[in-house]
Every structure is written in structure tokens, then in C-alpha cells.
Amino acid sequence: YSSNNKYFTQCEAEGFRKITYYQDRPDVLSKFTTTIIASGYPVLLSNGNLVSETKKGDITTVTWEDPFPKPAYLFALVAGNFDKITDSFTTRSGRNILLEIYVDEGMSSKAHHAMKSVKESMKWDEDRYDLEYDLDRYMIVAANDFNFGAMENKGLNIFNAKYVLADTETATDVDFYNIQSVVGHEYFHNWTGNRVTCRDWFQLSLKEGLTVYRDQEFSSDLNSRSVKRIDDVIRLRTSQFSEDAGSNSHPVRPSEAFNISNFYTATIYEKGAELIRMIETLIGRDKFKLGIKKYFALFDGKAVTTEDFCFAMSEASKKDLTYFQKWYTQKGTPKLEVSRDDSSKHLKLDFKQITSPLLLPISIGLIDESGKCIEKIEVVSSTCEIQNRGDTILLEITKDTESITLNAPKNSRVSFLRDFSAPIILKYQPIENEIYDLATHDTNAFSKWEAMQQLVTTDILKNIDLLQKKQGTTFDEKLIAIYKKILTEPISDPAYVAKLFSFPEFDNIKLEFDGSYPLDEILKSLS
């Protein structure tokens, strides 16, 4: 397509067939050599490495060769007049990679943060997964009229300019953060999506869920891990949970669709990433890395399925993930009810899956009544498999009902779903002061934030009710005391502290309403 006297392509999912005749399916992989002949377009780009360039008068001829087999949806061509910035990256094996970012004329000064993000992405993938870049050059083109956020075409990524251009005069911290994240995402596709692609579009989450997870981890390592996890959960709850609850609910791996374009959803991307995260939670980071290596050893240069990915993880970790794969085919957000029994000298927790049972990795910590984290949790009995990880235990709940008995001090506070270990809705009636104590003393950053959100939400609902009754407003003194305590403690992660002071998302608050509260009263209480 043409935009501002420049030519671009967008071939995912079925665009290449509109350029020429081809078996335009993701499981048809070919090596592409592309020759472009043009006049009046000084920049002519395509996938792979530049092997020749000649000029005769005003006619320019270039040939690009991509040595790696790829499906047609990864083909790209760009022609036009651009400014560019260049840099280089030396891989751990000593190869020198040319880096180029092409932008509209006069915009090159705003592309330096994106270039920095490219180099950070390359280094991170080497450090975390031993994955080196495989071509001689890596190119990004920024287009103002690109409809997608960005596209991972092999060696030639095309971005909406929003995710490339930024400077300190006009961009916010969030703009810089998003550029880093999106640049990372598209670069990571070079292996998870390009070198190993999906057999068919029903397997879209194979590449997108895995790559979203990888860019989440990248952003976590380079910024505040706690804040990144919280932001991802907020996004999941506001966009994906609502999708799961509506008429468009569908599994991570759909079995049917009216149009392939309908696959590009929060469920495929965000929930798909949570499935990958659960696998790493279940087998551990070291075995997950071995699983990634096994995945590429088995399937490099192939078009595969989510079952193939789980097989590689099972082979590397020696853990059977057959039952876990129900997550890919079951739609909706799982719901888990938890009750507690303190009547004996032990703490008994009973779990009930309200929806059709799945394998739920539930991470739990304990805090005693004085606020001290219990560093070693002693399990008396359990109906489910348990992994003891010091001050946290991981329960693998698989049946409709499960239970666990812990040797814990009386009135212990239970920190559920640490790091949001499963994308579920958990219902639990806390004991007196339990949420206050978790907000004050929980050592898990996500669970502490979650407790704070519950307290603030409760206070908001109370004030909405008071406003309805024309009784003014009030404030939770215990909650204010927690805020004061946070501010008087040493601050090692200012971004996380700021997140603790943030209000719940409106979409999350409104889930608590039964429809009897007018919108203006809700907004008034939040102001």
C-alpha cells in the first residue's frame, strides 16, 4: 500500500496472496530472494541481507536474500525517501550486526531510544536464552500510517511511528517504556515466530503468547519487575477477563473463526502469555530455559503447534503437561473458591473449582499474627501435588475439590496467588484484619499491592453507599496508617511505591456493583 509517497507491505495474516499467486499459509516455508527495480525511491528494502545494489541513471536495482525459510506472511518490502540512523551490535560469538532505523525526513533525532532498545533486546535474548541474531543486518522502518502497532517481518520490522519516535521534549515516561517493550517484542519474534512459526492460524498464540511473555520478562528485567507484573495483571483483568465474560469469549487456541483477523485478541495474546508463565512457574526458570533450547532443537525452521511447544517443555523438565493443555481449549476465566478452617491446631484450606477443572498453579505464603513472614511452610497433608519453595508453596490444583493442611500459627494470614500465579478469579472470605496485615507486611510485591487494592476498593464502595444516602464521606483510618508506614520506610523501588498509592481501575471497581449505583455517584467518590 502507498502512504505519503512511500510503499509498505503488511502480509500477516493473508496479505501476500494479494501481491502475487502463492500458497499463502503459515506452514508453507520458502527461502526468498527479492529484486526491486525502481526510480525515484532512494531507499528499497526487503527481508534478509543486501547482496547487490546497482544504479543506472535514475533506475536503482537492489537484491535482498533471506537465507532462512519463512512463510509468506513474514515477507516485507519498503520503498521511499527516508532518513536513517545506524549503529551496530556485536554478538557473543563475535559477529557484527548492522542496525538501521528508517524514519520520515527530519525525524532521525527521535529514533535513538528505539535504537538503544534494539541493542538491549539483542543482549537480553543472548543472556536469558542464548539466542543470537542470525542475519547480517536488522532494520526497523517507522511509518505514520501503519495500521498495526508493529510487524516482525524477518530482518525488516515495520512499526507505527508511535513506537519508534520519542524525545524528552514531547514524550512521557510511558512513551519511552512502550517503545522499549514493543521493540523488544518484535525483535524476540525473530526466534519465537519466525525461526519457529505456527502450523495454522488457530495456533497464533504459539508465537504471540510466547513472545508477549518474553517481552514482559524483558521489560521486567530492565525496569521494575514488581510494577511490570502489576501492570500486566491490570491489563489482563480489564481487557481479557471482560472478553472472557462476554459474547466474544473464546479459548486461547480457537477451533473455528469467521475470519482470521478475529484471532488478534487479548485472549490470544495476553492470556496466551499467562499460559506460558504458568508453565515456567510449574517447572522453574532453569528447566524452562532448557525447554526453550529443546523447542528450537526439535522445531527450528518448522511450522508447529501448541502441543509441540508443551512437548518440548515436558521433554526438558520431565514433567507431564498433558492435563495442563486443557488451558488452550477451554474458554472463560476459571473461578476458584477457597475456605479456611482454623478449628484445630492446624490451618486447613479447602479449594473448589467452580468452572470445569484445570491445572491451577496456586502460589501461597503465610504471615503470622505479628506480621512476620513464615519462612518455611510445613505441610501436614494435601490432596494435590506441592512444590515447597521456602516461604512460598506452589499447589497444583487439578480436581473439582482439593484441600491442604498446614502447620501454621493460629490466625495466620494467607497470601494467595503470589505474583498472580494463575489467571483466575479467586473468591475467599478473609478473617478479621487479614487484608490489613497483608497490605502492611506481605513480602510478595504483587500480593501486597493486591491487598492495598482490596482495601481501597472497599473504602470506595463504602463511600459510594454513603453518598447515595446523603451522609457525606469518611476515610479508613487503618488504610491511612498503612500509607503513612509505606512513606516512612526506605524506598528501594519508587515506581512500585507509586503503584501502591494508585487507585483501582474503574473497570475493576464496577465489577463489584449490582447495577443500583448511578455512574455519577461512583465517579464522585473517586474524585
Where in the sequence numbering do the catalytic residues fall? Answer: 186
From residue 379, alpha-carbon distances to 201, 261, 359, 478 in Å are 44, 48, 20, 33
Least Cα distance to 162 among 295, 45, 177 occurs for 177
**164-191: burial string, b at 16+ Cβ within 10 Å, e else:** bbbeeeebeeebbbbbbbbbbbbbbbbb
Distance of CA 301 to the CA centre of its chain: 25
* DSSP code per residue over 470-481: T------HHHHH
CA distance linking residue 233 with residue 446, whole number of Å: 9
8 Å CB contact between 153 and 176:
no
Q: Sheet of 49-56: strands edge to edge?
A: 33-39, 59-65, 49-56
Least Cα distance to 427 among 348, 332, 355, 328 occurs for 355
C-alpha cell at 389: 519453595
Cβ neighbours of residue 250 closer than 8 Å, sequence gap 6 or more: 265, 267, 331
Q: Which residue has the cell 512511500?
A: 6
Give the CA angle between residues 493, 494, 495 to the nearest 5°.
Answer: 90
CA distance linking residue 83 with residue 107, whole number of Å: 7
CB atoms within 10 A of CB 420: 21
CA distance linking residue 8 with residue 77, whole number of Å: 6
Amino acid at 24: D
Pairing state between β 43-46 and 378-382: unpaired
Class of residue 331 by CB neighbours under 10 A (exposed 0-12, middle 13-18, buried 19+): middle
Class of residue 297 by CB neighbours under 10 A (exposed 0-12, middle 13-18, buried 19+): exposed
Please name every residue paired with 304 in a beta bridge, in sequence order, or none if there are none: 198
Least Cα distance to 187 among 280, 271, 273, 123 occurs for 123
276 DSSP assignment: H
